Structures are given as structure tokens and as C-alpha cells.
Structure 1
Amino acid sequence: MSTDHGRPMTNVLFAAPVSVWEAYEAPLRDAFAQKGLSVNLATDLPPEMVDYIIYAPQSGLRDFRPFTRAKAVLNLWAGVETIVGNETLTQPLTRMVDEGLTQGMVEYVTGHVLRHHLGMDIDLLRDTPSWEPRVPPLASERKVTILGLGILGAACATALSNLGFAVSGWARRAKSIEGVQSYGGEAGLVDALHGAEIVVLLLPLTDDTHHLVDSRTLALLAPGAFVINPGRGPLIDDQSLLEALDTGHVAHATLDVFATEPLPADHPYWAHPRVTVTPHIASHTRPKTSANVIAENIRRGEAGEPLLHLVDRGAGY
């Protein structure tokens, strides 16, 4: 084992594209120093010497069997669907939860909920002058449903509730969030979506949530509802959503994530007048704040303490 002035050095492999390394190297080194960690951080280390792997799906790393002494794989992003089913991964896996990512998601969701609630597009997209006052309902009269009440969903639900919206939320198991009507299970999904005027998708992608938003669930929404998806693209069955948009049952969809990214130039979403496409920018992992989370987990691992944000392999997130 390498040492730093007599102290054992922890070997950390940064498995991510070069562009990501350039953004994260300095914040990680600073975070390690602040935690008092002696770390050999590199993009190329002998697998048998690696203690921790900082991982991004685009790294190309697929076989974790050579990393025989690795204590954990620390996912750099919030989503783990591309790695959680990897049969070669036997080490503990953590997902990224950090304050910068959470705040970014709250700002995106709140901004677009307010945009649809206030009908901003009606005025912004008008071609000719028209004095037609349209007074929106108060937030308390607008039913907003959040699908997914993990850390991101709960934070968004709380922010919208604090603005006065009538917020409901759904997860596999009902949760207790002040100001939010929480539902769980299959029957709860129907109750949460029934009559919803704005739906925000913040579920993890699993076998159970793939195409959860389809013709059946879309039919539960109030006529003229809005759909906002900053979660995972395959949560939505695209054809079902397009049909609901064409009939007007869904008035508009704001979509940040897609089954194929970048979204193909010939995809119907680009040209649809009732769709807003944003290029997967709802919330990014911020190097400075996420580096602190990574450093804290390595400190915990070296101290024999429980790791933060462990992934439940059975649940898929």
C-alpha cells in the first residue's frame, strides 16, 4: 500500500470521461483535504490496488471483477439504472445525493409548474395583439401530483406546498411529508393521478416504472393537464403521450429526459406545438457539492461507518 508521510494512502479510481475528470479533479482533491484524507486519486490504477471507484456510466467500465479489494463504487450521478443490474458488481453501490443537485431540481420543477399554472405560454406565444384577460386559479385550487417521493421528489413537493399548491405525491410506499397528501401502492397511484392538473415525474427507472405513464394513467388526469418530466425518459410511453397531446387531454408536456439522448432530430417532440424540450438540464451533479459527498463516503468507509445513500439492489435504486 502506498503511503503519504507514513500514513496509509487510499487509492481512488476516477472512472469517467476526460471532460468529467477535468471538472472534478480539483474539487475532489480539495474535499479530500478538508476531510483529512490521504488519497491517491487517478484515472488509471491497477484494479487490484483500488480501494474505491468513483463511477460515471460513460466511463466504459463494465467489468468490476478485477477490483478485488474495492470497498465501494460511488456513482457520480443520481440515477443508477445503467449499473445496478451489472452482475459483476459485488461491491456496495452508492448513488449521488447532494444539495446542489436537489436545489437545481427544485428550481426547475417550481419554475415550470408556475409557468403552466399561470398560463405564461398563452401570452408568450401569441402572434397578434389581443387583450383577453385570463385570470389563473390560485395555487390552492390547482392539484399538482408528484410521482416519486425520494429526496428530489420530497423536496419539490415541499417547495410547491409552501407556495400554496394542493400537492399530492405517490411512491411505492406512502410517506409522511408535511403539507403533502401521500399515496402508495397500485390503488394509491390511481388516487394520486385522478383529476391531477399538473404531474411531475421524479421516479427512478425500474421494471415497475418503465412506461408507467401510458394511455391508462394519462386518462386519469384532468382534461387539459400538464406533464413535466425531469426524471427518466422511459417513464413515459411516448406514443401514448403524443396521442393525449393531439386530443388536447394533455395541454402541454415539458420534457427534459428521453428514452434516447440526445433526442433524435426527427423525433415528433421537436415539432409538436404542445411540447417543450429541454436538453437534460433540469439538475446536474455539481462538482463542488458532490465532491463533498464523495469525500464523506470515503471517510466513512475508512472509519468503518455506514455509507451514505446505499443502493437497494432489489429495489433498483
Structure 2
Amino acid sequence: MSVLVVCPGKDPENWVKALKNQHPGMNVYVYPEEHDTEEVEFAITWNHPRGLFKNYPNLKVIASMGAGVDHILSDAALPDNVEVTKIVDDTLTEDMGDFVLSQVMNHIRGLHHYVKNQQKKQWEKFQYKRPQNTKVGIMGLGVLGNAVADKLHKNFFKVYGWSRTEKNCDNVTSFHGKDQLQEFLENSEILVCLLPLTDDTCDILNADLFDMLPEGAYIINVARGEHLVEHDLMKMIDNGHLSGASLDVFREEPLPDEHPFWDHPRINITPHIASLTKPESVVAQIAENYDRMKEDEPLKNKVEMEKGY
């Protein structure tokens, strides 16, 4: 019985070291080194090559290296009999809350204006808003969405939330379903996307949705690049309906040099760093699921395949 680590473009050594420290004696292979595919029953991955796992006849579990699982579920050749798990980690959760708070504060205080003006040696003051007078809407009220909502509430923002199904969250004015989406958006001066990526949420950040936001609304996307219709965002910023955007995720990563987002004065770019998985922080839960698989026990943080998260 062996574990396979698959993470093209990432250095796997920290994962291998953390796994062996956590679970001495675990036999770990790193793709694409030579190995016996029939030995592998458990895989740990981020952005695996499409169709790879159909070559592993005894594979039982695919564990995501992060909170997202769309990179796994989007593989049309995924074996039918495997279970998929995700990471739920306090460090990731706290980091996401800190990042979104920083982007919200950057926007209401206009700090990005001063960065640009410094480059031009231009002395100009901008009016700012206070948290108490700012409405923030969060799309997606899962673990990360709840953590972000709590962080914003503790910093005196008025917090609204929307989810596919009804959720009861402390200190959040909650909406759910398509019928309540417009009312939610009308109360979102800053819109934060933390939705899982599914067939229903792909391209959800589009012109029709933006049109329901208050004039001057600001977009923060820390979910997935595929949520956003890029040309709709630029059009709505350029016509003045949206004031700008902070984007941490993109359809193609790294963002190509020729992409127009790089040069847009009202779009702030970060390279998918809102919250980064630290192997030493999460291998304990992965190793526990490895043991649960061996003992034929229910897995923790298991993905509901029909929902996509």
C-alpha cells in the first residue's frame, strides 16, 4: 500500500518530508517518478494531469492539498469509485480572513491610490469610508465564508451573506437561493466571492450580477478565476458602475504577461496568495484519513460529489 503525491509545478519535498514525519514508514511516491501503479491506494494532489488517476486500479482516496477540490472534480476521467477529501485548516481559515480584511480596508481607505500617486510623485488626498458605514456582501457561507464574515463583523463592518441553501450565521444578515440574490446584491457595496466552483457558480460574476450591485461597488475574488467573466468586469469598471476589483485568482495562472488586467488602473492583482497551505499544518488530517481508509472507516472532510464541495 502506497501514497502518491502529484503536484506539477510545486516542490513536493516538503510534503513528502511532512508525511513521513507524521507517519513513519509510509511509502510515498512522487509523480512522475517510476512506481507500481497497482500499489497506490491513496493520492495527494494539486492540479494533477487530466486522466492520470484512471491508471491506478486500486486507488481509493484522492486528497486535495488545499480547501478547493474543483481541480480534482473537473477531471472527466476521474474513477467512479474513489472518494475525494479536502483540507479544513484553522491556519488557512485565519489567513483568508486576514487577507480579505486587508483588501477591504485597502479599498475603503483608498491606499492603492496613494501607491500609484507615489510613483507619479503626486500629492493628493482622497476621502475614505469607515467600517461602520460600509456594507460587505459575502457569496459563499462555508468554513471560509463564515470566518471572513466573523473577521469583518469584529472590525465593525455591516456583513451580509448569500449561499445556495439557507445558512444561519452569527452576526450576518443571510440570504439564500436565486430568489434572494438580488436583495443580497443590493446591500453589497463590497462583494467578496468565496463560492465553491461548480457548474452553477461558473461565470456567476458577470454583467447581469454586477448590474444588481450598487453603483460604485467593489469586487474581491478569492475563490476561483472561473467564477469571473473577465470582459464583463472590465466593461463595468470602465463604464463607472464598478469602482474596481481586487483579484487573487485567475482563469490562467500565472496570469499571462499580455493580459489586460496587469495594466488596468483599478484592478489590484495578487498571485493566488490569500491563504497558502502549509504541509506541516495539514498532514495530520491527511495521515488520519490514510489510516481511516486502511481500517475502512468514514473519512473526514469528505467531498459530496453531487454538490461539488
TM above 0.5, yes or no, is yes
Return the offset for 1:18.
Answer: 7.5
SS in structure 2 at match of 1:14 = strand
Residue 231 of structure 1 aligns to which amino acid in structure 2?
A
- Give the alignment's Cα RMSD to 1 decimal: 1.9
Alignment match, 1:40 = 27
Alignment match, 1:54 = 44
**Are 2:105 and 1:118 aligned?**
no
Cα deviation, 1:19-51, whole Å, max 9, x if unaligned, reads 431121111112224xxxx42122253122222
Determine which of 37, 40, 64 is the counterpart of 1:75: 64
Instruction: Classify 1:100/1:62 alpha carbon distance in 2 versus 1 (closer, same or farther; 3 Å).
Output: farther
Residue 268 of structure 1 aligns to which amino acid in structure 2?
P
Alignment match, 1:201 = 193
In structure 2, what is the Cα distance between the partners aligned to 1:262 and 1:246? 24
CA contact (8 A) 1:98 1:293 kept: no
CA contact (8 A) 1:15 1:61 kept: no
Residue 99 of structure 1 aligns to which amino acid in structure 2?
D
Alignment match, 2:245 = 253
Cα deviation, 1:204-261, whole Å, max 9, x if unaligned, reads 1111111111111111112111111111112111111101111221111111111122
Return the offset for 1:63.
Answer: 3.7
Return the offset for 1:270.
Answer: 0.9
CA contact (8 A) 1:195 1:220 kept: no
Percent of residue pairs identical? 34
**Are 2:159 and 1:170 aligned?**
no
**Are 2:92 and 1:101 aligned?**
yes
Runs of 5+ unmatched residues, structure 2: none
CA contact (8 A) 1:28 1:295 kept: yes
Determine which of 78, 83, 87 is the counterpart of 1:92: 83
Figure out how many residues of one structure are paired with residues of the other and give that number: 301
CA contact (8 A) 1:106 1:156 kept: yes
Determine which of 114, 132, 156 is the counterpart of 1:140: 132
CA contact (8 A) 1:77 1:95 kept: yes
Alignment match, 1:3 = none
CA contact (8 A) 1:100 1:289 kept: yes
Return the offset for 1:56.
Answer: 2.1
Alignment match, 1:262 = 254
Runs of 5+ unmatched residues, structure 1: 1-9
CA contact (8 A) 1:158 1:177 kept: no
In structure 2, what is the Cα distance between the partners aligned to 1:205 and 1:291? 24
In structure 2, what is the Cα distance between the partners aligned to 1:118 and 1:210? 31
Range with bigger deviation, 175-184 or 119-128: 119-128
SS in structure 2 at match of 1:83 = helix
SS in structure 2 at match of 1:57 = coil
CA contact (8 A) 2:8 2:47 kept: no
Determine which of 290, 301, 317 is the counterpart of 2:293: 301
In structure 1, what is the Cα distance between the partners aligned to 2:4 and 2:50? 11
In structure 1, what is the Cα distance between the partners aligned to 2:107 and 2:55? 50
Relative contact order (alpha carbons < 8 A, sep ≥ 6): 1 or 2 greater?
1
Alignment match, 1:313 = 305
Residue 63 of structure 2 aligns to which amino acid in structure 1?
L
Residue 92 of structure 1 aligns to which amino acid in structure 2?
E
